[in-house]
Structure 1
Amino acid sequence: MGLPQLETCCFVLDLKTGNIVMGCLNAFLSFTLFVIMIVVACTIEPLEVKAYHDDDVSAEAALTGLYAMSIILVIMFLAKFCFDLFFVYGVVMEKASIIRAYFVMWIVFFLLSMFTFFLNSPHYSAGTISVEVFYISLNVYAILLSNSFYKLLNTREEV
């Protein structure tokens, strides 16, 4: 049993156009989350310094962990942004190997992102959580689209 095969994107676009649109949208959202996580990391560090000067060890430890996870997410979203751009290139050029590599990278990124985000979600604002949930659901649909396009490219090559 595999992933469901899609015939079109949003019942309107063909798979190639849909993958280009979703890849560009993913790149935009990856960049947006990259910037949001930079802002979160920048707002946490002064709180961490204040907790250090107030000798609040438990607050300092919690903020240090949150700061470290925010930096990890910044790096992950930057990498995701670069992979999204590379994916769009792969779809335009119809390179099945790039699409397969994106699929594998996305699964690894998805697991890491879910783990780090939900581990620290109580500390994030409602807006950050809403954007992340929308981003994750959009990426699930995008991965279904890219898998369907990859299968379509493989059937074309066999014929």
Structure 2
Amino acid sequence: MGLPHLEKCCCFFDLQTGNIILGCINAFLSFCLFVAMIVAAVEIGAMERDTASELGLFKGDESGEAGEAILLDAQLSGLYAIAVILVFMFLAKLLFDVFFVIGVIMERKGIIKAYYIMWTVFMILSSFTFFLNWKYWGVKTIMSEVVYLCLNFYSVLVCHSYYVQLNMREEV
């Protein structure tokens, strides 16, 4: 038993057009998140520099303020590292989205299959992250994450259905 096979995307687009639309939307959102992560990394880097300069003032001081400043600097360093990793992750996602749209237009099964596998893994990791951390989030965040996961699942279904359709077309 496999995934359900869809005949249309959003009830009125054919699968190729639906995949192009979903790929373009994903590319646009990946680009927006890529830019947002660059901005966040720059802001965190600036805060880290400011904290480092404040640490220079407290070097000889053994009070609690110096310890708090060191702890803040360590936390900002971790946030900066995560922001930089996310920049590269969203850049890779943007490139995957662009290659996917090109692959759908050119009907390249290998590109579509690679994107399908990448998107499935990305969705599974997002689901695990959601289910591990849902109790720490607010209602709005939980609802937006549920909508995000549902849209991801639908995108995977449309991508898989188009891949199966291309395979069936070749067999005939």
Alpha-carbon deviation of 1:113? Answer: 6.4
**1:37 paired to 2:50:** no
Alpha-carbon deviation of 1:108? Answer: 3.9
Kindly report the root-mean-square deviation, in angstroms, between the aligned alpha carbons of the 2 structures: 3.1
Amino acid at match of 2:26: N
Unaligned runs of 5+ in 1: 120-128
Q: What pairs up with 1:1-159 in 2 under 5 angstroms?
A: 1-52=1-52, 53-54=54-55, 55=66, 56-110=69-123, 133=145, 137-159=150-172
Alpha-carbon deviation of 1:149? Answer: 0.5
1:72/1:136 CA distance change after superposition, 3 Å = farther
Does the CA contact (< 8 Å) of 2:112 and 2:163 recur in 1? yes
Partner of 2:137: none
Deviation track 1:97-151 (CA, whole Å, cap 9, x = no partner) reads 11001112223444566788999xxxxxxxxx79x84665543322221111001
Amino acid at match of 2:110: S
* C-alpha distance in 1 between matches for 2:84 and 2:124: 17
Does the CA contact (< 8 Å) of 1:41 and 1:67 recur in 2? yes
* C-alpha distance in 2 between matches for 1:71 and 1:37: 7
* C-alpha distance in 2 between matches for 1:30 and 1:136: 16
* C-alpha distance in 1 between matches for 2:74 and 2:10: 45
1:114/1:42 CA distance change after superposition, 3 Å = farther
Does the CA contact (< 8 Å) of 1:69 and 1:116 recur in 2? no
Deviation track 1:48-73 (CA, whole Å, cap 9, x = no partner) reads 22333244122122211111111111
* C-alpha distance in 2 between matches for 1:116 and 1:65: 19
TM-score, length basis structure 2: 0.74
Alpha-carbon deviation of 1:45? Answer: 1.2
Amino acid at match of 2:161: S
* C-alpha distance in 1 between matches for 2:43 and 2:127: 22
Unaligned runs of 5+ in 2: 56-65, 133-140
